[in-house]
Amino acid sequence: MYTVKTKNAELELRAVEKGIFRVRVSHDGEYTESLMSRYNILRESGEAAEASFDGTALTLGGVTLTAADGSLQVSGTKEKLCISFDGFEGKPYKSRGFTLTASLTKDERLFGLGDESRKNIARRGSVARLDIRNVASYGPIPFIMSSNGWGLLLNCTYASTFDCGASDPDSLIISSHKGQIDFYLFIPESGKLTDILTLQGKVAGNPILLPKFAYGYTFVLNEQTNAREMLYDCLNFRREDISCDMVGLEPQWMTNHYDRSIYKTWSRDRFFFPDWMPENYSGYDTFFYNLREMGFKFSLWLCQDYDLLFEEERQCGERAKELGKEYTFEGASILDPHLACPEYMDGITVRDVPWFDHLKKFCDNGASAFKLDGAFQTNDHPDRLWGGKYFDDEVHNVYPVIYVKQMQEGFSNHTGRRAVIYTPCVYSGTQRYAASWAGDTGGGFDTVIAMLNFGLSGHSNVTCDMEVVSKEGIHYGFLSPWTQQLGWRNWQQPWFLRDELCQCIKYYSHLRNSLFPYIYSMAHKASETGLPIARALSLMYPDYPEYDYVANSYMFGDSLLVAVFDMKLTLPAGEKWVDFFTGDVYEGGQVIDYKIPEGRGGALMVKAGSVFCTRDYQKFIEETAPDKYHINVYPGGDAQFTLYEDDGYTYDYLEGKMGTTKIALENSRDGAFELALYRREGSFEGREKTEASLMSDPDILPMGDVTAFDVKVFGEAVSVTLEGAPVEFSVSDGFTYFEADRDAHREKDLRFEIKF
């Protein structure tokens, strides 16, 4: 950390690591800690030792930050960047607000800011208000990135405004009514948007990897449902052969409807739980057992107004002790002496008891997920003094992040398993703890923009309330990063819909289940790199500014292109595209009027020059441990895919306990290419079957050794050889099929040559 004093201010510069810099500005040499840093939501790995400083300029890896009076010059981006600071001269601005201005070049494009607005993906020319509001702005994220190769994350929890060239076309103007200037700059050597996201994830966190079942189909039941009706709905999913993994209960599961207290209990009328049973019981004489027998997980709706900051402050104290530092309880000053008395007006919070402690018994019952209602999260609390110290304008935006943080950590610490926490309220850092859905806004076209803007802001596990009254809504819902249908107060179970919709849901549930190895591998990639599962075309094809206005199409992982609702389909340039449903081939770089095939709800294209894995569909993701996967090959250029395999439940993968198999198309040329199947690296074990774990989970089979790969190549081959020896193959309906023995693959890399 280096300090530069200028005439009107002091700048604190930190080289966090290569490509990441932190800048703070103070009027009087004192710095107020942002709650996102204080509560360990934004995290730094430590100062890079190779950084150099000459008194005014900090240099690391080809990037130089030069401090001047009231400004910062940044070199190392595609165009020189100037950031100036205003609004603090002659007053203690840390409590009066600030303005910082970043220069924009003529053709510079801006992306990010989360679900602040659903009007567009290109943010230049707009004004964004970063303040969580119910329905209107569920997920504002104070992160923006530029086509000129830089990103900026504002480390501020107060409401802020990002004027993206609207009032001044040459400037990005960021302002807030309170707080200090504190921001991170992300400047990758490549200048790529994807690499900016990766750097951002090193501070704000990459998207959490959910357990396997969460990437299946979740059906949230009608609010009038009781235990018997829930079990019969689950039975019908199995009888109708519709792949489904989790059911959710709305507020009806509790004795008191919309109970926000710590005294939640199961409703005796709808979900009878005898008094003589322990509260945390889940044995064979409960409905929890029957859910497990059918292979279903369940989620519980939650609503609360607990003061979570007492627990965060306790954790701050623990971290300070570990580091040998003095702990201070900093925050807003208590201006009214009447509020300084020992009486705390909040009648819900038990100060010394973490919120999640009240939920442990429901985890023991078998709850695998919690759905966090937006109620109270989105509300302003002007009468609240959070943690006995902080005013609401400082807490409002960060509270939903603290909420999912404590839920995720509480669940994982109590069970040893990955948490499924999903919320409509998102701010910077949410992605490292939770998934989200689009709140009470349905599953229409505007939620696509929300999903893509989240992806451009570092948040991947996103969905909506799937609209199942149209095939278009079903198509989009099942081809989102995760899938949820809300029954709340409707009766839209598939078997109650007209037959064509029921069959459409059945088809797409099978499709999603069969795509699981691909989707799960893309989720792993997101957790490692920050690259989202659903990707705006601008992110993957940044050299085409016209794609900034394409909101009806997105890349679904590396290989698949999805188009939803509007069938004016943009096919990205430089590629050929194969219709997954029909096999028709299209040239890229054009907009086509796509005709949706019978029984489908939109377009699904495969990029020529792709390889990825699928499997035979199952009634739920973990029904059996599959003994083979299908390698799908679409020739057209070199490509590679990494198949990730792990136990699907624990955090062992973070310790390297997982298997990765690289599959590649190599040496592509006219009429021939090589398919390389590399040896699997790493290993993992199935989850240990302890008595305690079986009380809360189904019998989970060890998700272990797939013994074979079936290869499916788009095109009719004339020969297939393995190291020069002929391989038996067949041709059918425009595809070539052969088998790759994984037992042989364990010993060495396999390299097939396919000729057409």
Look at 685 and 574; give whichever has higher pLDDT: 574
pLDDT computed for residue 331 by the predictor = 59
Model pLDDT, residue 683: 81
Q: Which helix (H) or strand (E) holds 363?
A: helix 360-365
Which one has a higher pLDDT value, 218 or 688? 218
Distance, CA of 275 to CA of 273 (rounded, Å): 6
180 pLDDT higher than 50: yes
Stretch 164-170: mean pLDDT, rounded? 97
pLDDT at 617: 95
Q: What's 467-508 look like in SS3?
A: CCCCHHHHHHHHCCCCEEEECCCCCCCHHHCCHHHHHHHHHH
Question: How confident is residue 690, by pLDDT bands cut at 50, 70 and 90?
Answer: very low
Judged by DSSP in three states, 127 sits in strand
Tell me the average pLDDT across 384-390.
Answer: 88
Q: What are phi and psi of 249, to 5 degrees?
A: -105, 135
Q: What pLDDT does residue 171 have? A: 98
pLDDT above 90 (res 419): yes
pLDDT tens track for 632-678: 999 999 999 999 999 999 999 999 999 999 999 999 999 999 999 99
pLDDT of 94: 44
What does CATH list as the number for 2-204? 2.60.40.1760
Cα 249 versus chain centre, distance = 23
Fold held by 534-607:
Immunoglobulin-like (2.60.40)
> Does pLDDT of 577 surpass 90?
yes
What are the DSSP calls for 209-271, one per residue?
A: ---GGGGSEEEEPPTT--HHHHHHHHHHHHHTT----EEEE-GGGBSSTT--SS---B-TTTS
- Which of 392, 396, 369 has the alpha carbon at shortest distance from 253? 369
> What is the biggest distance separating any 2 CA atoms in the chain, rounded to whole angstroms?
87
Percent of the chain, pLDDT > 90?
80
* Per-residue model confidence (pLDDT) at position 685: 73
Structure tokens at 275: 């008094």
Residues in the chain: 756
Q: What is the DSSP letter of 339?
A: G
Q: 526: which 2 tokens? A: 């997101």
| Mean pLDDT value across the chain | 92
Res. 32 pLDDT band, cuts 50 70 90: confident
Mean pLDDT of 110-125: 96
Task: Read off the tokens for 353.
Answer: 């008891």
Q: What pLDDT is attached to residue 756?
A: 95
Q: Assign residue 475 a region: left if phi > 0, alpha if psi is -120 to 50, beta otherwise?
A: alpha
Q: What is the mean pLDDT of residues 74-100?
A: 76
Higher-pLDDT residue of 479 and 680 is 479
Residues 141, 113 contacting (CB under 8 angstroms): yes
The phi and psi torsions of 659 (rounded to 5 degrees) equal -110, 140
Burial status of residue 284 (CB atoms within 10 A of its CB: 0-12, 13-18, 19 or more): exposed
Rounded Cα distance between 452 and 47, Å, is: 33
User: What CATH class has 610-755?
Assistant: mainly beta
d(CA 522, CA 684): 19
CA distance 59 to 54: 9
Residue whose token pair is 């300090």: 3
In 3-state terms, what secondary structure has residue 614?
Answer: strand
Q: Which pLDDT tens digit goes with each residue over 578-605? A: 999 999 999 999 999 999 999 999 999 9
Q: Is the Cα torsion angle 525, 531, 537, 541 positive or negative in sign?
A: negative
- Name residue 435's beta-bridge partners: 422
Rounded Cα gap, residues 248 and 216, in angstroms: 13
Q: How many CB atoms lie within 10 A of CB 374?
A: 18
Task: Between 177 and 687, name the one with better pLDDT.
Answer: 177
Axis-axis angle for helices 399-415, 309-323 (nearest 10): 70
- For the stretch 320-360, pLDDT in tens is 888 888 887 665 555 555 555 444 567 789 888 999 999 99
- List the structure tokens of 496: 């109650």
Joined tokens for residue 667? 């040496």
Query: CA 438, 441, 443, 447 torsion: positive or negative?
Result: negative
pLDDT for 696 beyond 70: no
Mean pLDDT, residues 303-314 taken together: 94
Of the candidates 284, 290, 257, 286, which has an alpha carbon nearest to the alpha carbon of residue 271? 286
Place of tokens 């909101």: 551
Helix (H, G, I), strand (E, B) or coil at 317: helix
Residue 646's nearest CA partner among 588, 699, 619, 686 is: 686
Q: Of 198-207, 248-257, 684-693, which gets the smallest average pLDDT?
A: 684-693
Q: How far is CA 180 from the centre of its chain?
A: 29
Q: What is the pTM of this model?
A: 0.95
Residue among 353, 356, 361, 251 at smallest CA distance from 302: 251
Name the DSSP class of 295: T
Residues 426-442: what's their mean pLDDT?
A: 97
Concatenated DSSP letters of 35-98: HHHHTTSS------TT-EE-SSEEEETTEEEEEETTEEEEESSSS-EEEEEES-TTS-GGGT-E
Going from N- to C-terminal start, the domains of the chain cover: 2-204, 534-607, 610-755
Partners of 422 in the β-ladder: 371, 435
At residue 168, does pLDDT exceed 60?
yes
What pLDDT is attached to residue 694? 37
The reported pLDDT for the residue numbered 703 is 47
